[in-house]
Amino acid sequence: MRRCNIPAVAPPWGTLNAIDLNTGRYLWKIPLGEYPELAAKGMKQTGTENYGGPVVTAGGLLFIGATVFDHKLRAFDAGSGALLWETELPYSGTATPAVYMANGKQYVAIETNNARNRGAPQGCAYVAYSLP
């Protein structure tokens, strides 16, 4: 098992925030990401270091990878911040996802790599999912 290297301050260590740009107020704020070693011990919702941003569909789905250690792509309700779906990626999804249409079907794609997590196996892959 690799050394965890967690921050020396109380979690959350990374958040996903929705801000009303007219007022500057937070609409919602949630921890984003987990350290697998801590989650296995029951310490979830810690948030982690994040790179890459979200993309929001016209239907109100917010997709984001961004987390360095848990290798997940997540879909949230953009209005409430509720987690709707998540999947494991082969590497960290530290790029901003792309949403596109092909032959009348909508897709979300993301580039994955472990460049920001040198303790993990290195590699990269492009992953795409079709939306229902």
Three-state SS at 98: strand
| DSSP-based three-state secondary structure for 25 | coil
Q: Where are the alpha helices (DSSP H) in 7-128?
A: 36-39
pLDDT digits (tens, 9 = 90+) for 41-71: 999 889 998 999 999 999 999 999 999 889 9
| Cα 118 from chain centroid (whole Å) | 19
Whole-model pTM over 0.85: yes
Of 2 and 29, the one with more pLDDT: 29
Where do the domains of the chain lie, and which CATH numbers do they carry? 15-130 (2.40.10.480)
What percentage of the chain carries pLDDT values higher than 70? 97
| Residue 32 · residue 15 · CB < 8 Å | yes
Average pLDDT in the chain:
92
The CA distance from 4 to 96, in Å, is 25
Please check whether residue 90 is in contact with residue 106, taking contact to mean a CB–CB distance below 8 angstroms: no
What is the rounded CA–CA span in Å between residue 6 and residue 124?
24
Q: Residue 23 is which amino acid?
A: T
